[in-house]
Chains A and B, each alone.
Chain A
Amino acid sequence: MLDYDFMRNAFAAAAIVAAVAGLVGYFLVLRGQTFAGHALAHVGFTGATGSVLIGISPLWGLVALTVTAGLGMGAIGERLVQRDVAIGIVLALALGLGLLFLHFYTAYAAQATALLFGNVLSVDAATVRALLWLGLVTVGLLAAISRPLLFASLQPELAEAKGVRLRLYSGLFLGIVGLAVAECVQIVGVLLVFALMVGPAATAQRLTTRVAGGLVLSPVLALAEAWAGIALAFYTDWPASFWITALSAGGYLAATISPAGRVR
């Protein structure tokens, strides 16, 4: 299995992205903002297809639009962002625009499926390098703000009184989520970002009641699910994204109904 270049690239890319998604996802689930992650992925679809149209790599189009959208959502404020009707309309528009861009660039039909559902086995070495740098930046930024972010997530009013600028950290965090989403799309695609960002993090929060434990367990679970998904795809010839979503859902379900997930 590891004799093939594309498999080695797939495992490397999945490892980088799983670590990023697991860490960012932990805070996303803790803050109850998982829907924001979903929304950013949809917006990213427009960015990716739009950049293909003007001849830029879809990864950078994704990054540009998801990060901008994340910072913008933070600037507007969480209350507005949680209005589901407004979000729903913007999401539909984002996917619609993405479709329009694809329509103009008809030769790229295969790219559409890859963007929507991911195609980890087609990741090349250059993309792995780009993911590594992006991942380091994402995790570095998250580490720098993680303490005030945790404070603001757990007890916003006290945090505000103690001098934490809630709007600033909310905006920075959603920008970081934008980066992480853009990375996840390379593995599981726009529509399945939840499988890496939310599934492992939510499972980890079921299994441990500690912050440190969660921050270790969440990326480890994401990594295990992503690697197992790729290996299963290799042996079954079913899509890797399917296996990753199945493992993500299965892991969460097991943690929810198991005694370990209920007690600790």
Chain B
Amino acid sequence: MNAIEFRQVTLRLGGRDVLGDASLAVAAGEIIGVLGPNGAGKTTLMRAILGLVPAARGEIRVFGRPAARGNPAVGYMPQTRSTGANLRLRGRDFVAGVVNGHRPGLPFPGKAGRAEVDRVLDLVGAAALAGRPLAETSGGERQRLLLAQALVGRPRLLLLDEPLANLDPRFQGDVVALAAALRAELGITILFSAHELNPLLGAIDRVLYLGNGQAALGTVDEVITGPVLSRLYGAEIEVVRVRGRIFVMSGGQDMERDAHRHDHGGAHALLGASHDHA
């Protein structure tokens, strides 16, 4: 069965079509890297799969059923920004707050809830750091806890929105490896959005590249080509491969790196990096 299916889907945000008439299918168990310039609709695509953004036209199916809010089969790790960065709460309680969180009642996980928290903390290797307050964790450690939250309730599809943003390069590799390990261990489907393709190479099965209201889904060799990306960027694109790394260039400029810089600014990137060293 397909984990995700788009049938002639148009997604509209603020009067603009971020995706027009797109049809695509992601098989269960795949890891897909979701790429594209800023504003291409990576987050909107994930929110549509979650049922938070309705399709303007067409149909989105998740494991054969129409996309709808509150689907327990889907786990989600939103783009972090500063979630919980100032909280004095320990990581374990931060994760436990998600258990059955949609149901009314008291905020104390029972025995089964505590076992679930243990399970997800072990899965992401965060059991040891979960006793510390969030305010005293690094960006990379917080990322693991957010991933643990997404895994609560045993989802079969995991949507990871920019989990590498603001992370030091050496921690980026850890997060990518963790996603690959989760797929191997749990057999789940993963959508992993990122600014840059290179950190994902080797871990992903296929690429979903968004841009210009269009989407291209295929292997790296099929999608990351001059003609396909020129269509998605609406500009002449050249793809350069250097020692196993791939650079998307336009007029001598590295498009992905450029996008990264625009989004966060040099100072922020530096700040994130120094935070991880602390």
Binds B, one of A5-13, A55-63, A188-196, A207-215: A207-215
Most buried by A among B78, B84, B132: B78
Task: Tell me if A211 and B104 are in contact (CB < 8 A).
Answer: no
Identify which of A30, A147, A205, A206 contacts B101 (C-beta below 8 A): A147
Most A CB contacts (10 A, CB to CB) among B74, B78, B101 go to B101
Contact in complex: A158, B98 (CB < 8 Å): yes
Report B75-111 residues with CB < 8 Å from chain A CB.
76-78, 83-84, 87-90, 93-94, 96-98, 100-108
- Rounded to whole angstroms, the CA-CA distance of A136 and B102 in the bound complex is 24
Chosen A-B contacts, 13 in total, with CB atoms closer than 8 Å, are A144-B105, A147-B101, A147-B105, A148-B101, A148-B104, A153-B97, A154-B84, A155-B146, A159-B101, A161-B70, A206-B88, A209-B90, A211-B97
Q: Is B10 an interface residue (CB 8 A)?
A: no
Q: Is the CB of B102 within 8 A of A159?
A: yes
- The listed residue (A143, A159, A163, A205) touching B106 by CB distance below 8 A is A143
Interface residue? A162 (CB, 8 A): yes
Nearest CB to that of B90 among chain A residues?
A209
B84 touching A144, Cβ below 8 Å: no
Which residues of chain A are near B264, meaning CB under 8 Å? Answer: none
Chain A residue with Cβ nearest B43: A157
The answer to the question of A150 belonging to the interface, with a C-beta cut-off of 8 Å to chain B, is yes
Chain B neighbourhood of A76, CB < 8 A: none
Question: Which 9 pairs from chain A and chain B are nearest by CB?
Answer: A163-B70, A151-B101, A157-B78, A209-B90, A150-B107, A161-B50, A154-B97, A147-B107, A161-B76
B133 within 8 A of A: yes
Which A residues touch B70, using CB under 8 A? 161-163
Q: Judging by beta carbons under 8 Å apart, are B105 and A146 in contact?
A: yes
Distance of A153 Cα from B94 Cα, bound (Å): 10
Question: Does chain B have a CB within 8 A of A53?
Answer: no
Judge whether A161 and B69 touch: CB under 8 Å.
yes
Number of B interface residues at 8 Å Cβ cutoff, please give it.
37
Is A158 a contact partner of B105 (Cβ separation < 8 A)? Answer: no
Residue pair A209, B88 in contact (C-beta under 8 Å): yes
Query: Contacts A147-B107, A209-B89, A209-B93 given: A164-B102 contact, CB under 8 Å?
Result: yes
Q: Is the CB of B90 within 8 A of A150?
A: no
Q: Are B133 and A209 in contact (CB under 8 A)?
A: yes
Most A CB within 10 A of own CB, among B52, B70, B72, B150: B70
Contacts of A158 in B (CB 8 A): 76-78, 98, 149-150
Q: How far is the CB of B36 from chain A (nearest CB, A)?
A: 20
- Point out the residue from B52, B87, B103, B146 that lies within 8 Å of A148, measured CB to CB: B103
Whether a CB of chain B sits under 8 angstroms from the CB of A160 is: yes
Contact B94 A154 (CB under 8 A): yes
**CB neighbours of A153 from chain B (8 A):** 97
Query: B104-120: contact bitstring with A at CB < 8 Å (1 yes, 0 no)?
Result: 11111000000000000
The answer to whether A54 has its CB under 8 Å from any CB of chain B is no
Q: Is the CB of B76 within 8 A of A210?
A: no
Contact at A146–B107, with CB atoms within 8 Å?
yes
Q: List 19 additional A-B contacts (Cβ < 8 Å) besides A153-B97, A155-B149, A161-B74.
A: A30-B89, A147-B105, A149-B107, A154-B97, A154-B98, A155-B97, A155-B98, A158-B77, A159-B102, A161-B70, A162-B72, A162-B102, A163-B69, A163-B70, A163-B102, A209-B90, A209-B131, A211-B93, A211-B107
CA distance A205 to B89 in the complex (A): 8
With contact pairs A147-B101, A147-B105 given, residues A160 and B52 touching in the complex (Cβ less than 8 Å) = yes
